Structure 1
Amino acid sequence: MRKLKQSLGIFHPIVWVLLSGTILARGSAFMTLPFLAVYLSKTMDLHPIMIGITIGISPLTGTLGGFIGGHLSDRFGRKPVMLLALGATSLVYFGFFLAETPSAFILLNALNGLCTAFFEPTSQALISDVTEKKNRMKAFSLRYTAINIGASVGPLAGAYMAVVSAKSAFLITGLIYLAYSVVLLLMMKKYSVPGRDEGSNPMSLKGSLKIMAMDKGLRFLILGSILINLGYSQIESTLPQHLTKTMEEGVFVFSVLLSINAIMVVLLQMPLSAYSEKFKTMQVMMAGAILLSAGLLCFGFAKGWIIAIIAVLLVTVGEILIFPSSSMLVDQIAPEELRGTYFGASQFRKIGQFAGPIAGGFLLGEGGALLLFPVIAGITVCSLFFFSRGNKAVSKVEQPTNFSV
């Protein structure tokens, strides 16, 4: 019992609220968004490129929205930005439930990307604000684990809802996000959030841009991450389309692959994060990029369970090494007074998530999976160039994180 209390005491209560809320909110989101491409394909008979635009519009709006949201959280506080974003997200999912035209889905997914981009960097900045530096890598790893706990359940629930009532999944997700916003509001009233919760940063948007423009480490991180996200975006855009065309019960196969991915992240995240502490953060991301590219290449040859599972395992280890390390790297290079802005600027990586589904849709339509996945894997592995340059740029500021399990 004493050890349990000590473990719980490592983090501020608000961090535990965010981790718990992430499980529920992301679980419900994974019940809907990964199947949006399949839903649009079946119910509206859209061309793969049009589906790619609909899927990709979310990260496009999130690209600019993340930077603005992060900057606003530095100036006015984390609390109003986070609560506004959560409440608006619930309304977006209610809109998905009512939508009946392609244009409505495009608009709603654009708003979804904007809301997510406001919430994600602000919540990461808040975790940094209230967590001791030596425990931040552990906090970011637990956050990513929480995302994948939700992701391990969400796709299977989504596959069931796709058969029973696909639109009802949007309604359920909206209600969960609404409940999350209410609980977070109550907890923020109960517990004081030290540091930047009141947001007193006087720096202008122009001044913030000027500082970040001179930061080579941030610049190379964003450029490399754009290519990573371009590749990873295929998992939710072109991969389900490919599987439904080449395999019987393709939706079920896709659901199982997503669940394998999420379960493996939950099991491997903490031990791999602990082991990766022996290396520089950017070097860990480079190793992840190689594995991710290899997994994407394997998907091009997946016509049965074995190769598909091998591919998803490679992708899984790759993302475990890349994504939490990316958050930790932003925390390491960000000036304290611009932490929210830096986390927001890192959202520019979503340019890859916008371009990925469109480029992938074009390649899938023109040459099928044997053209799509090798080309995308080749583009993804090019991130090594930027991570290598970034490794040199941040070597002077990176410090040991003393992560332990």
Structure 2
Amino acid sequence: MMKVKNYVGQFHPIVWVLLIGTVLSRGSAFMTLPFLSIYLSRHMDLSPIIIGITVGMSPLMGTVGGFIGGHLSDRFGRKPIMLVSLFMVAFVYYGFTVATGQGWFILLNALNGLSNSFFEPTAQALMADLTEKTKRMKVYSLRYTAMNIGASVGPLIGAYLANTSAKLSFAITGTIYLLYALVLVYFLQRLVVPLSQEGNSKKVVSFGAAFRIIKTDKALRYLIIGIILVNMGYVQIDSNLPQILEGTVENGILIFSILITINAVMVVVLQMPISHLAEKFRLMQVMVVGAVFMAAGLVCFSFVSGWATAIIAIVLLTLGEILIFPSNSMMIDQLAPEHLRGTYFGAAQFRKIGNFIGPVFGGYLLSHFQGQIMFWVIALVTLGSIIFFTAGNKFRVTKADEVV
């Protein structure tokens, strides 16, 4: 009991509120958004192109919105940005329950992506604000684990509601986000968050100046490019893999659903022990090994013929995921000046460009060649991230030496 108390006590209570909120909000979001396209096709009689535009509006707005939201949190404080964005997300899901035209769905999902892109980097920055530097890697790993706990449960509930009452799933998700916002209001008012961590520092710069700082930070730029390439590989699991499995493997959709479950459960179970082991190595080494594992998983997918090869492939890819993504957050944290942490985490949202390019590029390869060629090429692209990680680390070390 004492061990549990000591473990909980090493992090600020607000950090735990954010982690628990991440489980609930991500679980509810995964309960609805993966099934939004099904809802639109069933109830709105829309063309696949319009459905694609509607679904794609969220990550599209998130690509640029994160930088804006992160910077605003540096200027005006974490609290107002986080709370306004959470209340807006709740409004979006309630809006889905009453929307009747395609224009409303496009607008609401765009607002959803913008609001989430404001909240995510701000929440990460606040977690870093409230955590000792030596424990931040553990916090980022806990956050990633929390996201995957939600991701492992949400789709199961969403699959049931999609066939019974899709609007109910929207209402449930909106209510969870509303409660999350209200609980966060309560704790932020009751608990002391130091002013130095609320974005009121005299060092805070204008938006234009912040953009120029990001533009000139070569280490950050190379790191973002590397993660874009990694995301191009990782996103194939959600975009092109199910198409390939359905068309080439018996019970392909069943296998795909099991693979998604294995992925989420592995992250939940292994994230913390692997992150603890990874702390003994340099971030650069961890990210390079992660890229190799992810590329190996993609290559294995090119040879999938049944359950065994599919499971081996997802295990390799998930190990790469566990190593890369929390390490990426930690490296951004190390790059960011204290007064620009929100701006840096916001700029990192540009990595979502890979979530756009990946499905399109992979789909092109799939339509003109075949699944095996597609996975090989995408695996090479993923390995290409190592070049940019290495270059980014070189400039990061140079930057640290100049500061010293």
Q: What is the TM-score when the length of structure 1 is the normalising length?
A: 0.89
Cα-Cα RMSD = 2.5
**Residue pairs, 1:142-181, within 5 angstroms:** 142-181=142-181
Equivalent of 2:308 in 306, 309, 325 = 306
Report the equivalent of 1:347: 349
1:129–1:195 CA contact under 8 A, matched in 2: no
Report the equivalent of 2:17: 17
Please tell me the residue identity of whatever aligns with 2:329. S
Gap regions ≥5 residues in structure 2: none
* d(CA) in 1 for partners of 2:384, 2:262: 27
Report the equivalent of 1:403: none
- Give 1:104 shift: 4.4
Report the equivalent of 1:80: 80
* d(CA) in 1 for partners of 2:362, 2:293: 19
* d(CA) in 1 for partners of 2:37, 2:295: 22
Alignment CA distance shift 1:57-1:354 (3 Å): farther
Equivalent of 1:385 in 362, 384, 387 = 387
- Give 1:279 shift: 2.0
Gap regions ≥5 residues in structure 1: 400-405
Report the equivalent of 2:209: 207
* d(CA) in 2 for partners of 1:34, 1:315: 21
1:129–1:196 CA contact under 8 A, matched in 2: no
2:250–2:306 CA contact under 8 A, matched in 1: no
Alignment CA distance shift 1:84-1:358 (3 Å): farther
Q: 1:270-300 CA distances to partner (integer Å, 9 max, x unpaired)?
A: 1111111222212211211121122223334
* d(CA) in 2 for partners of 1:2, 1:178: 34
**Is the deviation greater in 80-89 or in 38-47?**
38-47
Report the equivalent of 1:283: 285
**Residue pairs, 1:3-82, within 5 angstroms:** 3-37=3-37, 46-47=47-48, 52-82=52-82
* d(CA) in 2 for partners of 1:398, 1:51: 46
1:52–1:358 CA contact under 8 A, matched in 2: no
**Residue pairs, 1:257-272, within 5 angstroms:** 257-272=259-274
Partner SS state of residue 357, structure 1: helix
Q: 1:102-130 CA distances to partner (integer Å, 9 max, x unpaired)?
A: 55444333222211110110000000111
The alignment covers a number of residue pairs equal to 398
Partner SS state of residue 227, structure 2: helix
Partner SS state of residue 11, structure 2: coil
Alignment CA distance shift 1:126-1:329 (3 Å): same
**Residue pairs, 1:108-119, within 5 angstroms:** 108-119=108-119
**Is the deviation greater in 251-260 or in 218-227?**
251-260
* d(CA) in 1 for partners of 2:364, 2:266: 31
**Is the deviation greater in 332-341 or in 195-204?**
195-204
Alignment CA distance shift 1:301-1:45 (3 Å): farther
Q: Percent identity?
A: 59
Q: What is the TM-score when the length of structure 2 is the normalising length?
A: 0.90
Alignment CA distance shift 1:348-1:164 (3 Å): same
Alignment CA distance shift 1:160-1:302 (3 Å): farther
Report the equivalent of 1:94: 94
Alignment CA distance shift 1:282-1:240 (3 Å): same
Report the equivalent of 2:186: 186
* d(CA) in 1 for partners of 2:251, 2:100: 26
- Give 1:70 shift: 0.5
- Give 1:239 shift: 3.0
Equivalent of 1:369 in 368, 371, 382 = 371
Partner SS state of residue 88, structure 2: helix
